[in-house]
Amino acid sequence: MEKTKSFDHIQTAHCENGVATSLLRYHGLDFMSEPLAFGLGVGLFYIHIPFMKINHGPAISFRNMPGDIFKRASRSLGIKIKRKKFRSFNAAQEFLDSKIDEGTPVGCQVGVFHLPYFPKEYRFHFNAHNIIVYGKENGRYFVSDPVMETVTSLSASELEDVRFARGPLAPKGHIYFPENVPKIDELKLKKAIVIALRKNSWWMSQIPTAIIGSSGFKYTGKKIRKWPTKIGVRKSSLNLGQIVRMQEEIGTGGGGFRFIYAAFLEKAATILQDDRLYQISDEITKSGDFLRASAVRMAAIYKGRNTSQSHFNEVADGFDEIAELEQKTFLKLYKMKFNINA
Amino acid sequence: MKKEDLPQDKSKLENFTREMCYVKNKKGEYEQVLSSGWDVKAEALEGAWEEVENRIEEAKKSVARGALSPIVYFMELNIMDMSTLAAYTGFWRISIKRHFKPKVFQKLSTKKLLIYAKAFKITIEELKNFNGKD
């Protein structure tokens, strides 16, 4: 069998944005780009889940639930996504093969732990990575992983391991692809952007809970202040290291997704021809810059250079600053009215 | 972040890939640029792995002392926690906790050992004969 027709590998910062972008572009939406997919998917978020632990550290996320970006982005444009999960690998593989025979590239949710083309150091039990499978030859599947610079391939048994990784967020062979992609005119795109902006600012500014949205940063700050006395410097250092990894590691585009979102706002400003959004974009950029600066301060702690309480307080103050900035910015965005018919 | 501020430090991604970052160019517009890494997060990752290695070493010592069963060691070696191991084996956490006791581990049936061995991708012999001493 030959390679499917003209599937283009697109590298992106984040895997789910990448799969959404590539698949939608493949189906004819040439205007789709990573920031747009992320923005329309209402991707920006912050949550600090208390009592829960991930890899023995705090459970923090800078983005919404895995899977939601593609779901919301396509829903907002009226695109239907077909999804399937499987009990057995044979059924999963049969279905995948039939889609490839048809020549349809498909998105697959996979676990990172068994992924052979990732460096060992990055292979934790994280089960919400996304790749595109777009062809098969001599028993090897062609894989376009959005965070990689080039395309790769996986054998059938390697694919079984990653598609049926277990643990939290187990993929269970999850496979998905756009079923019908309507023509999208400018007005529809504008409408979708306005709705996405409003939804995202709602999530960030309107939920009266300390752990969700902009106020979540404050909550984390409060925790950080207590860590050195409560759990000791060594464990606090590890926790801070975990926050930095969640915020900066591959997939975030830097600054806890803030820069991708700022790029979306910039794009939205152009499409909606609304200069106010440039200003919001600048403020989210600033928030990303604050996060980068905060990462540098945290690094000084886990490298063991600065480990006194005052340094933890400094980090916490940084989080308060971010909370304040984002609260203000998203409230402004939430109250903004757009006239898209003009 | 400005384009000229984007770090290009060494990282574990070297020889695998570079990561996409969003930065502002001179015109003040966003642009996609590849980065090879950033020291700040490379050190965070290193710290995380040091902790993993500590846990493995601790588990090894406990097995050698006879305080815990090899399951603990292989669980740590595979960077698993209880919930991940429970998901891979299908055992309840409370049973797994029991299997951590060397005495209980000795009496485990071959069927159960096989389930563990499969989860850790090793043979039953490797699992049974691990004593943490070498």
Least CB–CB distance from B19: residue in A170, A250, A255: A250
Sign of CA pseudo-dihedral B75, B80, B81, B84: negative
Q: In chain B, which residues have their Cβ closer than 8 Å to the Cβ of A287?
A: none
How many CB atoms are closer than 10 A to CB B101? 15
User: Is residue A131 domain-shared with residue A210, that is, in the same domain?
Assistant: no
> Is position A111 within any domain?
yes
> Is position A203 within any domain?
yes
Span A81-105, average pLDDT: 94
The predicted structure's pLDDT at residue A340? 79
A252-275 per-position pLDDT tens digit: 878 889 999 999 999 999 999 999
How many CB atoms are closer than 10 A to CB A19? 29
User: Is residue A147 domain-shared with residue A192, that is, in the same domain?
Assistant: no
Query: Are the Cβ atoms of B47 and A147 closer than 8 angstroms?
Result: no
| CA distances (Å), origin B26, targets A199, B8, B58, B127 | 31, 18, 52, 59
Query: Are the Cβ atoms of B48 and A167 closer than 8 angstroms?
Result: no
User: Is residue A204 domain-shared with residue A331, that is, in the same domain?
Assistant: yes
DSSP letters spanning chain B: -BGGG--B---TTTTT--EEEEEE-TTS-EEEEEE-B-HHHHHHHHHHHHHHHHHHHHHHHHHHHTSS-HHHHHHHHTT--HHHHHHHH---HHHHHHHTSHHHHHT--HHHHHHHHHHHTS-HHHHHH--S--
Q: In chain A, which residues have their Cβ closer than 8 Å to the Cβ of B83?
A: 167-168
Nearest CA in chain B to A121: B12
Query: Are the Cβ atoms of A125 and B84 closer than 8 angstroms?
Result: yes
A199-250 per-position pLDDT tens digit: 999 999 999 999 999 999 999 999 999 999 999 998 999 999 999 999 988 7
Mutate: best of A150, A248, A298, partner B, most B CBs <10 A: A248
Question: At residue A1, does pLDDT exceed 60?
Answer: no
What's the ipTM?
A: 0.88
> Is position A277 within any domain?
yes
B17-43 per-position pLDDT tens digit: 899 999 999 999 999 999 999 999 999
> Is position A42 within any domain?
no
Query: Are the Cβ atoms of B51 and A56 closer than 8 angstroms?
Result: yes
Share of chain A above pLDDT 90, in %: 81
Residues of chain B with pLDDT under 70: none
Pick the CATH number of B65-129 from 3.40.980.10, 1.10.260.40, 3.40.190.10, 3.90.1150.10: 1.10.260.40
Least CB–CB distance from A248: residue in B6, B17, B40: B40
Q: In chain B, which residues have their Cβ closer than 8 Å to the Cβ of A302?
A: 43-44, 47
User: Is residue A236 domain-shared with residue A293, that is, in the same domain?
Assistant: yes
User: Is residue A169 domain-shared with residue A199, that is, in the same domain?
Assistant: no
Query: Are the Cβ atoms of A262 and B22 closer than 8 angstroms?
Result: yes
User: Is residue A153 domain-shared with residue A242, that is, in the same domain?
Assistant: no
Query: Are the Cβ atoms of B43 and A302 closer than 8 angstroms?
Result: yes
Mutate: best of A121, A237, A261, partner B, most B CBs <10 A: A121
Query: Are the Cβ atoms of A119 and B13 closer than 8 angstroms?
Result: yes
The predicted structure's pLDDT at residue A3? 43
Query: Are the Cβ atoms of A303 and B43 closer than 8 angstroms?
Result: yes
**Last-in-domain residue among A158, A180, A202:** A180
Q: How many CB pairs under 8 A join A and B?
A: 121
What pLDDT band is residue A151 in, cutting at 50, 70 and 90? very high
Backbone angles phi, psi at A60, to 5 degrees: -125, 145
Query: Are the Cβ atoms of B16 and A266 closer than 8 angstroms?
Result: no
Per the structure, the complete domain to which residue A329 belongs is given by: 186-335
Cβ atoms A323, A215 nearer than 8 A? yes
User: Is residue A141 domain-shared with residue A225, that is, in the same domain?
Assistant: no
**Last-in-domain residue among A131, A149, A180:** A180
Mutate: best of B5, B17, B50, partner A, most A CBs <10 A: B17
User: Is residue A115 domain-shared with residue A240, that is, in the same domain?
Assistant: no
> Is position A169 within any domain?
yes
The predicted structure's pLDDT at residue A2? 43
> Is position A239 within any domain?
yes
User: Is residue A161 domain-shared with residue A117, that is, in the same domain?
Assistant: yes
Mutate: best of A55, A117, A123, A166, partner B, most B CBs <10 A: A166
The minimum CA-CA distance between B102 and chain A, rounded to whole Å, is: 24
Least CB–CB distance from B48: residue in A245, A253, A260: A245
Backbone angles phi, psi at A222, to 5 degrees: -60, -45
User: Is residue A135 domain-shared with residue A235, that is, in the same domain?
Assistant: no
User: Is residue A197 domain-shared with residue A320, that is, in the same domain?
Assistant: yes
Q: In chain B, which residues have their Cβ closer than 8 Å to the Cβ of A286?
A: none
* Tally of structural domains, chain A: 2
The predicted structure's pLDDT at residue A283? 95
The predicted structure's pLDDT at residue B133? 82
User: Is residue A269 domain-shared with residue A320, that is, in the same domain?
Assistant: yes
Query: Are the Cβ atoms of B88 and A121 closer than 8 angstroms?
Result: no
> Is position A75 within any domain?
no
The predicted structure's pLDDT at residue B110? 96
User: Where exactly are the structural domains of chain B?
Assistant: 3-37, 65-129
A48-82 per-position pLDDT tens digit: 999 888 888 899 999 888 889 999 999 999 999 99
